[in-house]
């Protein structure tokens, strides 16, 4: 049986994520394919031109290299590097690839928005055209002040692409922003992977530092009862702050930014 490829993007600044969290925690017999991202001199903080350049690089590689080489009849995975694994994901991935051409993570429990941090897909014409359109829109947006990324464009375009067969993974393929499966220790211990999203930098910590903090927190929560109690307290605080921000933005007519 052909080993499924799991593609990730990497730069030297993310070395700790690759070597200490992502690669050592893999539980499936997948072929890890690492794609280097060229170094940029610009500020690469969330929302900057440098950040958008990195996102566009990833989509260029997806369209010109990955989709061009992967077999249509077999699926592959495209993953962010800020992910850790706790259980094999293979059975879930293969099950959903048998139903859809592309499968996303769930972004949150409130909407049908998808998260592009961990995706499984097959290189069908519809999937290829979908990502070509997103890559083109990202390229056009590079010099514009408005911030967009592949996830925001994907969410905007999915409903406009009726021929694309797409689905959402169950909550076991978990992103931090999706708190639907967190209330009990039973649910948390059922997760197969954790995607450390919602880590926009603050005045005190970089995005990388926040990702590492979140990865360590979730790992302790999954592996120990004491760690879980700490997690519940911190996560509950984060949920309440998120609700307050959402209400504030809504009251001023501003769109929420993920």
The residues spanned by each domain of the chain are: 5-168
Q: Which two tokens stand for residue 68?
A: 């061009």
Supply φ then ψ for residue 175, to 5 degrees.
-110, 145
Question: Which position has the higher pLDDT, 234 or 204?
Answer: 204
- Whether residue 1 has pLDDT greater than 80: no
Q: How far is CA 144 from CA 48, 131, 138, in A?
A: 11, 20, 10
- pLDDT (0 to 100) of residue 181: 53
Q: Could you tell me what percent of the chain has a pLDDT over 90?
A: 59
Instruction: Please answer whether residues 102 and 121 qualify as being in contact, where contact means their C-beta atoms are separated by less than 8 angstroms.
Output: yes
Instruction: Please answer whether residues 169 and 106 qualify as being in contact, where contact means their C-beta atoms are separated by less than 8 angstroms.
Output: yes
**Kindly report the CA angle at 86 between 85 and 91, in degrees rounded to 5?**
85
Supply φ then ψ for residue 227, to 5 degrees.
-65, -35
- Where are the extended beta strands (E) located within the chain? 5-10, 31-36, 75-79, 83-85, 102-106, 114-122, 166-168, 173-175, 193-195
Best-predicted range by mean pLDDT among 45-54, 56-65, 186-195, 202-211?
56-65
Q: What is the rounded end-to-end Cα distance, in angstroms, of the chain?
A: 38
- Whether residue 29 has pLDDT greater than 90: yes
Q: Among the listed ranges 124-128, 136-140, 193-197, 227-231, which one has the minimum average pLDDT value?
A: 227-231
String of DSSP letters for 89-108: -HHHHHHHHTT-SEEEEE--
Per-chain mean pLDDT for the chain: 86
Supply φ then ψ for residue 137, to 5 degrees.
-65, -35
Question: Which position has the higher pLDDT, 38 or 100?
Answer: 100
**Does CATH place domain 5-168 in 3.40.50.300?**
no
- pLDDT (0 to 100) of residue 256: 43
Crossing angle of the two packed helices 49-61 and 150-158, in degrees rounded to 10 = 60
What does pTM read for this prediction? 0.85
Supply φ then ψ for residue 246, to 5 degrees.
-60, -45
């Amino acid at each position: 049986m052909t080993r499924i490829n799991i593609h990730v993007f990497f730069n030297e600044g993310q070395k700790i994520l690759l070597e200490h969290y992502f690669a050592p925690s893999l539980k499936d017999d997948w072929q890890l394919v690492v794609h280097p991202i060229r170094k940029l001199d610009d500020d690469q903080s969330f929302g900057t031109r440098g950040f958008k350049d990195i996102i566009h690089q990833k989509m260029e590689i997806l369209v010109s290299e990955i989709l061009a080489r992967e077999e249509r009849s077999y699926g592959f995975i495209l993953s962010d590097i800020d992910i850790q694994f706790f259980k094999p994901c293979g059975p879930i991935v293969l099950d959903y690839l048998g139903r859809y051409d592309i499968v996303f993570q769930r972004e949150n429990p409130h909407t049908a928005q998808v998260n592009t941090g961990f995706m499984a897909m097959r290189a069908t014409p519809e999937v290829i055209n979908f990502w070509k359109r997103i890559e083109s829109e990202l390229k056009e947006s590079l010099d514009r002040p408005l911030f967009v990324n592949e996830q925001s464009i994907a969410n905007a375009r999915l409903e406009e692409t009726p021929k694309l067969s797409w689905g959402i993974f169950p909550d076991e393929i978990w992103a931090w922003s999706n708190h639907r499966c967190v209330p009990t220790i039973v649910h948390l211990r059922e997760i197969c992977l954790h995607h450390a999203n919602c880590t926009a930098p603050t005045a005190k910590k970089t995005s990388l530092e926040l990702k590492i903090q979140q990865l360590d927190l979730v790992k302790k929560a999954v592996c120990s009862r004491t760690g879980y109690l700490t997690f519940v307290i911190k996560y509950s605080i984060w949920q309440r702050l998120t609700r307050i921000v959402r209400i504030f933005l809504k009251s001023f007519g501003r769109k929420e930014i993920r």
